[in-house]
Amino acid sequence: MPDITAIGELLVDFTPYGLSELGQPLFERNPGGAPANVAAAIVKLGRTAEFIGKIGDDAFGQGLKSVLDARGVGTAGLILTKEANTTLAFVHLDDQGDRSFSFYRHPGADQLLREEEIPYAILDASSIVHFGSVSMSDEPSRGATLAAVRYARQKGLRISYDPNLRSALWGSLDEAKQWILEGMKYADIVKVSEEELEFLTGSTDLEKGSRLLAGPFATELLLVTLGDKGSYYRAGELVGLVPGNLVQAVDTTGAGDAFFGGLLYGLLEDGRKVNYWSSSELERLLRFANATGALATTRKGGIPAMPTLEEVLASMK
Ligand code: ADP
């Protein structure tokens, strides 16, 4: 019985790690995809996770399945298909170190997951169902994702959501906003970056923006990740900022997913709805999630960067 079932994309990230002598970017290849990263983070911390999604039955896809298998993420809901190739993601870093993404996905296998392929028995057995917006950027995976979260909602399961805007995947930003907000209707726990908060609410103010985003949906817990500055939370009227950990970051890919993994780990350990938590309990939860995110930045890649529970606890001393 998995603690968490993550649904969405599992793909290969190509990330630039330096320049050749002639000044060309050099890429490294790593397994990633935000929901898969969260599943890997949870397992690395010592809980259980299943992954639901579709990859190509090609060399990349087979490699990705073996990564999840080797790491102990359940793959009973992972489909390998000949219909399309495994999606490839290319990370671009600007002068400030900020990341943007482009994709090889014409179509990618991940966007071909269909509603009738959802393994509902895996959802039934899960405590938390986790999803993102990438799988909502196209049909049929949009319908499949929404069917899974609607089902989870009906069953009274807890649902976590990472709006995770990848603008290259959408026809327009208006379309992205519409579907990302549709996802908010089903989610209890939501994490956005500062940029996503501004995109979704028009506000750069954390207090106001988080109220505008969470308020209409009665979100149980909204987190805003702030990079090395840490993270901000809103649980009803309780809000606060918890500073980040000081680390030497080498690759921030997957930091938000590690953060989310740490957060969900803390929620599973406690079990109560966040409405019953005090500010100091919420701040302890975010300190743990910040430490998990910070450690992930000290290693390359998404899935390979996830820290163990012992590493997180040691870094918090
Ligand atoms: P996202 O991947 O969602 O954009 P961030 O880059 O903000 O998320 O990272 C998620 C979390 O990981 C942050 O809230 C913070 O706790 C931690 N983190 C990220 N980058 C750093 C960093 N350079 N130093 C310390 N902690 C970091």
Distances (CA, A) of 106 to 77, 84, 163, 195, 222: 23, 8, 22, 27, 34
Closest ligand 1 atom, residue 229 Cα? 15
Helix axes 173-184, 194-201, angle to 10 degrees: 100
Verify whether ligand 1 is closer than 6 Å to residue 38 (CB atom): no
- Judge whether residue 97 has pLDDT over 70: no
pLDDT at 296: 96
**Banded model confidence at residue 104, pLDDT cuts 50, 70, 90:** very high
Q: Using CA atoms, how far apart are residues 289 and 127, in angstroms rounded to an integer? A: 19
Pocket test for ligand 1, best of 252, 263, 287, 295 (most atoms within 8 A of CB): 252
Verify whether ligand 1 is closer than 6 Å to residue 193 (CB atom): yes
Q: Which of these, 303, 277, 287, lies nearest to 89 by C-alpha position?
A: 303
Q: Which of 91-100, 209-218, 261-270 has the lowest mean pLDDT?
A: 91-100
Whose Cα sits closest to atom 12 in ligand 1?
Answer: 293
At 168, phi and psi to the nearest 5?
-60, -20
Q: Using CA atoms, how far apart are residues 238 and 12, in angstroms rounded to an integer? A: 38
SS3 call for 306: coil
Verify whether ligand 1 is closer than 6 Å to residue 201 (CB atom): no
Query: How high is the mean pLDDT of the chain?
Result: 96
Q: What is the pLDDT of residues 19-56, one digit of tens each?
A: 899 999 899 999 999 999 999 999 999 999 999 999 99
Pocket test for ligand 1, best of 297, 312, 315 (most atoms within 8 A of CB): 297
Q: How many domains does the chain have?
A: 1
Q: What is the pLDDT of residues 160-170, one digit of tens each?
A: 999 999 999 99
Verify whether ligand 1 is closer than 6 Å to residue 230 (CB atom): yes
Question: What's the mean pLDDT in 245-271?
Answer: 95
SS3 call for 156: coil
Domain, as residue range, for 34:
4-315
Q: Which of these, 69, 95, 79, 58, lies nearest to 7 by C-alpha position?
A: 79
Verify whether ligand 1 is closer than 6 Å to residue 231 (CB atom): yes
- Judge whether residue 100 has pLDDT over 90: no
**Banded model confidence at residue 92, pLDDT cuts 50, 70, 90:** confident
Verify whether ligand 1 is closer than 6 Å to residue 249 (CB atom): yes
Tell how far the Cα of 157 is from the centroid of ligand 1, in angstroms. Answer: 28
Percent of the chain whose predicted confidence (pLDDT) is above 90: 90
Q: Using CA atoms, how far apart are residues 217 and 155, in angstroms rounded to an integer? A: 19
- The yes/no answer to whether this complex scores an ipTM above 0.95 is yes
CATH of residue 33? 3.40.1190.20
Q: What is the pLDDT of residues 201-237, one digit of tens each?
A: 999 999 999 999 999 998 999 999 999 999 999 999 9
